[in-house]
């Protein structure tokens, strides 16, 4: 027989490999997509951070330059006698200036002129402000310039400009800024930024100028003031960065969870498919065996019936006793055939779920007694000792007599088939804890533990059946189990290989029809 493509081992293997490969591809793609998306989100966060900080730095620079403009406008270089006045006015205005210096282009301080009173101020100024370092010849008049020095020189910060007086002389005016006031000014400018960011200003050696240096965490960014406080850096970290990281972490974990979940589900489905296919193959095999077994079961009695009926019809058998024996054989074999056919028809009905139930109040002990009377002769003729223990009186229960008879017959038939040399069968019916227990015990071959569950599966035949080459179709116990369940009961098996088996059909005692509450 040609196997369907679906069960073809190669086709199944190809399908499994295709599923595994596509799963792996999908997993890799979704992983890349997830990680890629996370990076995009992260990048855009970082970019918007950078943009914001750059804008802030520009804004501060612009403010300083505006500040310079006001200073330059106030510094009139025409009248040297008014420089002191100019200096006082600028210092008074809230523009952060400590001292205004007027110098010639070669670096000579024109104002304030040296005196012992300002000796230190003078020395500190000339130490930091060295005209030869400034490239003055390249400077245009009225152009804004800044000098910023490192920590060693107390972060000297000054704004300077070249101005021309009416006589055409070039005067270098330097506005030495007060460190504390500069920081206060910066603080004021950074106030808005601080509401959303941790902000700090540090020098090039990462010494905190305004606030301690910040940890270089994920969303950390630092930016240089390009032309004003060019020895300093502005550092920022979003205030909710730990929250952002937490959200990103949770998102990442959720994504991974879903990826792992879907992979596991796919693999689980593969395992289920694998077992389903295997089961299906076994079932196909079992069905094939079943057809073989049934045909064989029908052929043997049919052959006997034909043979003896032919002998009888020739009229050659004169002996009445022999005739009677042949008639008995024909009767026995036709009975066997009709039982088998009934069994098959009932099984087919159970399979279709179309069995007709006819529940009525019956005494199971009476039913068993009747059946035993029918078969006792035959069983004992085969050399069996048949013992029956039927409890009397036994309560009646609602049951379907036809299907119970069928189930009992299958158990009895099996105990005969699988007994071999120890030919003793005990049938008992007792009331046990709300149930009627119908047991059939033999002392035959027994059933290995590993098979004790499977023997109730349809078409399954145990290893002892193969050993004995017994007739059978593998549906007897499946029918019995079905009958038990249909009554709300069960079938139990106790068996030890070599020591016999006991099958017990447990039927609950019910007085009202199933489904109607008492
Ligand atoms: P069949 O007897 O036609 O093979 P059943 O469904 O009646 O099918 O039984 C299934 C299998 O259970 C049998 O093939 C046999 O191996 C095992 N079995 C059933 N009853 C007995 C028994 N009384 N003793 C030993 N084995 C049994």
Instruction: State the 10-residue block means of pLDDT for the chain, 518 residues long.
Output: 56 80 83 79 82 89 89 90 92 89 91 89 89 84 87 85 90 93 88 89 91 89 91 89 79 84 85 87 84 84 92 88 90 87 84 77 95 87 93 92 91 92 95 95 95 92 80 88 93 95 96 53
pLDDT at 10: 79
Q: Minimal CA–CA distance to 234: which of 262, 199, 260?
A: 199
As separate numbers, helices (DSSP H) first and strands (DSSP E) second, the chain gives 10, 16
pLDDT at 393: 92
pLDDT at 390: 95
Cβ 205 vs Cβ 75: under 8 Å: no
Q: Minimal CA–CA distance to 442: which of 422, 466, 464?
A: 422
Atom of ligand 1 nearest to the CA of 473: 3
**Beta strand pairing call for 397-400 and 359-362:** antiparallel
Q: Is 141 exposed, middle or buried (0-12, 13-18, 19+ CB in 10 A)?
A: exposed
Q: What is the CA radius of gyration of the chain?
A: 53
CA–CA distances in Å: residue 131 to residues 96, 171, 245: 22, 12, 50
pTM for this predicted structure: 0.54
pLDDT at 93: 87
The rounded distance, in Å, linking the Cα atoms of 450 and 462 is 10
Q: Minimal CA–CA distance to 480: which of 384, 407, 386, 394?
A: 407
Consecutive H or E run containing 398: strand 397-400
Atom of ligand 1 nearest to the CA of 445: 25
Residue 464 CA to ligand 1 center (angstroms) comes to: 8
Cβ neighbours around 306 below 10 Å, total: 12
Residue 374 CA to ligand 1 center (angstroms) comes to: 22
445 lines ligand 1 (CB under 6 A): yes
Residue whose Cα lies nearest atom 16 of ligand 1: it is 462
Residue whose Cα lies nearest atom 12 of ligand 1: it is 455
pLDDT at 487: 93
96 lines ligand 1 (CB under 6 A): no
501 lines ligand 1 (CB under 6 A): yes
Residues 6+ apart with CB under 8 A from 415: 425, 440, 441, 442, 444, 501, 503
Q: Minimal CA–CA distance to 406: which of 484, 512, 298, 495?
A: 484
pLDDT at 505: 97
The rounded distance, in Å, linking the Cα atoms of 102 and 172 is 6
Atom of ligand 1 nearest to the CA of 410: 7
The rounded distance, in Å, linking the Cα atoms of 63 and 228 is 10
Residues 6+ apart with CB under 8 A from 178: 96, 97, 98
pLDDT tens digit string along 94-145?
A: 888 999 999 998 889 999 988 898 898 898 898 899 888 888 888 888 888 9
Atom of ligand 1 nearest to the CA of 419: 24
The rounded distance, in Å, linking the Cα atoms of 377 and 471 is 21
Q: Which of 407, 445, 455 to mutate to test the pocket of ligand 1 (most atoms within 8 A of CB)?
A: 455
């Amino acid at each position: 027989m040609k196997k369907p493509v679906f069960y073809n081992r190669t086709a199944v293997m190809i399908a499994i490999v295709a599923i595994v490969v596509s799963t792996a591809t999908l997993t890799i793609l979704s992983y890349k997509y997830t990680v890629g998306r996370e990076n995009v989100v992260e990048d855009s966060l970082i970019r918007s951070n950078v943009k914001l900080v750059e804008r802030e730095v520009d804004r501060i620079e612009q403010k300083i330059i505006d500040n310079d403009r006001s200073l330059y406008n106030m510094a009139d270089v025409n009248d040297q006698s008014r420089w002191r006045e100019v200096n006082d006015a600028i210092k008074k205005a809230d523009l952060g200036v400590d001292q205004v210096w007027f110098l010639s282009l070669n670096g000579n301080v024109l104002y304030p002129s040296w005196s012992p009173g300002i000796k230190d101020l003078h020395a500190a100024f000339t130490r930091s402000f060295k005209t030869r370092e400034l490239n003055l010849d390249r400077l245009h008049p009225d152009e804004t310039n800044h000098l910023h020095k490192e920590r060693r020189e107390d972060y000297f910060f000054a704004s300077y400009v070249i101005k021309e007086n009416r006589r055409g002389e070039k005067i270098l005016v330097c506005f030495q800024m007060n460190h504390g006031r500069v920081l206060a000014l910066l603080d004021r400018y950074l106030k808005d930024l601080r509401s959303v960011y941790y902000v700090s200003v540090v020098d090039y050696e990462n010494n905190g100028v305004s606030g301690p240096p910040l940890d270089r965490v994920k969303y950390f960014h630092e930016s240089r003031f390009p032309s004003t406080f060019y020895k300093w850096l502005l550092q920022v970290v979003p205030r909710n960065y730990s929250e952002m990281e937490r959200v990103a972490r949770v998102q990442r974990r959720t994504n991974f969870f879903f990826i792992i979940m879907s992979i596991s589900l796919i693999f689980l489905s593969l395992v289920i498919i694998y077992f389903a296919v295997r089961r299906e193959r076994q079932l196909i095999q079992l069905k094939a065996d079943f057809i073989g077994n049934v045909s064989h079961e029908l052929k043997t009695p049919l052959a006997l019936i034909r043979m003896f009926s032919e002998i009888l019809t020739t009229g050659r058998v004169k002996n009445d006793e022999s005739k009677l024996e042949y008639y008995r054989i024909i009767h026995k074999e036709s009975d066997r055939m009709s039982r088998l056919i009934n069994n098959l028809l009932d099984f087919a009905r159970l399979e279709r779920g179309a069995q007709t139930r006819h529940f009525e109040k019956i005494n199971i002990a009476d039913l068993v007694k009747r059946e035993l009377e029918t078969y006792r002769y035959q069983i004992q003729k085969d050399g069996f000792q048949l013992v029956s223990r039927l409890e009397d009186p036994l309560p009646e229960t609602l049951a379907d007599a036809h299907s119970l008879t069928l189930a009992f017959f299958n158990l009895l038939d099996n105990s005969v088939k699988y007994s071999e040399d120890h030919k003793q069968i005990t049938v008992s019916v007792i009331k046990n804890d709300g149930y009627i227990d119908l047991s059939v015990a033999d002392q035959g071959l027994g059933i290995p533990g590993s098979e004790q569950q499977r023997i109730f599966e349809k078409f399954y035949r145990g290893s002892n059946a193969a050993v004995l080459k017994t007739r059978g179709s593998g549906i007897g116990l499946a029918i019995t189990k079905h009958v038990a369940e249909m009554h709300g009961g069960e079938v139990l098996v106790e068996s030890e290989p070599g020591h016999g088996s006991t099958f017990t059909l447990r039927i609950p005692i019910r007085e009202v029809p199933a489904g109607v509450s008492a």
